[in-house]
A = this chain, B = another copy of it.
Amino acid sequence: MAQKNRLKYILLGLLKDKSQTGYDLTKSFESDIGEFWTANHSQIYPLLKRMEAERLIDHKTSLVGEKLQKKEYFITETGSHTFEKWLKSPSEIDTIHDEFILKLYFIDDPQSVLLKQMITSQQSYHRDKLVHLKMQFKEKFPSSKQIKQHFGHSLVLRHAIEREQGYSDWLNEIYKTIK
Contact = CB atoms under 8 A, between A and B. Distances in A.
Chain multiplicity (copies)? 2
A46 interface: no
A52 to B, nearest CB: 21
Contacts of A158: 170
A96 B38 CA distance: 10
Contact of A152 (B13, B36, B107): B107
- Among A37, A88, A106, A118, the most chain B Cβ lie within 10 Å of the Cβ of A106
Contacts of A139: none
A130 B3 CA distance: 27
A24 to B, nearest CB: 17
Interface in A87-113: 87-88, 90-110
Nearest to A106: B13
A125 B93 contact: yes
